[in-house]
Amino acid sequence: MADRLTVLEEIIKEIGEELYQKWYNGLAIEDRTEETSKAMATNAGETAMWVIQTFMNKFNAAAEELKPDDSNG
């Protein structure tokens, strides 16, 4: 069960893979080395996670601001 990814983790993984492929396809053929590929894969995964976390934080903050103020009672 520990090997199973949550839905969010799976989405982040897939976005990271798609981002990596986009970056890799943009490289000149002579720059496509194993070392470059590994670095790009790591960076794409980290970037996908950062973008999604940042989006979720901003989305949740905006949603909190839209909630009615119950302190007026």
What are the tens digits of pLDDT across the range 31-62?
Answer: 999 999 999 999 999 999 999 999 999 999 99
Least confident of 4-8, 39-43, 62-66: 4-8
Is the pLDDT assigned to residue 66 strictly greater than 50? yes
pTM summary value: 0.76
- Within-domain flag for 44: yes
Contacts of 41 (CB under 8 A, 6+ apart): 16, 20
On whether the CB atoms of residues 41 and 20 are closer than 8 A, the answer is yes
In a domain, 54, yes or no: yes
The residues, any chain, with a CB within 8 Å of residue 43's CB and separated by 6 or more, are 23
CA atoms within 13 A on the CB side of 4: 3
Domain assignment present for 2: no
* Structural domain contains residue 6: no
| pLDDT (0 to 100) of residue 1 | 46
Residue 50 lies in a domain: yes
How many domains are contained in the chain? 1
Q: CA-CA distance, 61 to 64, in Å (whole number)?
A: 5
User: The domain containing residue 56 runs over which residues?
Assistant: 19-24+31-60
**4 within some domain:** no
